[in-house]
Amino acid sequence: RADVEAVVLVPDDTCATRKARGVLPPTVPHADAARTAGRAALLVHALCHEPTLLLEATEDVLHQPYRAEVMAPTLRLVGELRSRGQAAVVSGAGPSVLVLQPSAAADEGEVARRAALAAVHGGDGGWRELRPGIALDGARALHVGEASAAR
């Protein structure tokens, strides 16, 4: 597995999931769907073996372009981070931003995040940074007796 860490930038402002999903079109072009499927496969490879591919693997054409009207600050920050080589995406339905980075590039990532926040919001702009960690053991099936022992 590659040594990758997650950083989540959470804004003070919120955006209801219903509103974020409401701006998505009911259908998507076949080319966009195919491109996204390829990016999903590349993301697995990048996370497991080659984190230098994270930027390319996290390119989103299905969701983010449509959500700009309801979460403009988030999309400006994602664009600024990506222009600085950071694998940034809208996290879930937003408005938080997820950045995936090789652990070895943590210092460069921090510099890029600070510069991006300054460029877009003139400082942190009301965003806080979380480092949730990444579970490495994946999904597990527990038997009833094991479930209480695992807690």
Q: Residue 124's pLDDT band (boundaries 50, 70, 90)?
A: low
Indicate which CATH number applies to the domain containing 74: 3.30.70.890
pLDDT score recorded for residue 42: 96
What digits encode the pLDDT tens for the residues 102-119? 988 888 999 999 899 888
Helix, coil or strand: residue 144? helix
The residue behind tokens 């072009």 is 29
pLDDT score recorded for residue 63: 83
User: Does 106 map to a domain?
Assistant: yes
User: Does 74 map to a domain?
Assistant: yes
Helix (H) or strand (E) holding 112: helix 106-121
CB atoms within 10 A of CB 120: 19
Domain extent, residue 38, equals 4-135
User: Does 20 map to a domain?
Assistant: yes
Q: Residue 1's pLDDT band (boundaries 50, 70, 90)?
A: low
User: Does 148 map to a domain?
Assistant: no
The identity of residue 55, as a single letter, is: L
Domain count, the chain: 1
User: Does 140 map to a domain?
Assistant: no
User: Does 71 map to a domain?
Assistant: yes
Q: How does the average pLDDT of the chain come out, rounded?
A: 85
User: Does 143 map to a domain?
Assistant: no
**Does residue 123 carry a pLDDT above 70?**
no
User: Does 111 map to a domain?
Assistant: yes
What digits encode the pLDDT tens for the residues 18-58? 877 887 889 999 999 999 999 999 999 999 899 999 999 99
> How much is the average pLDDT of 68-89?
91
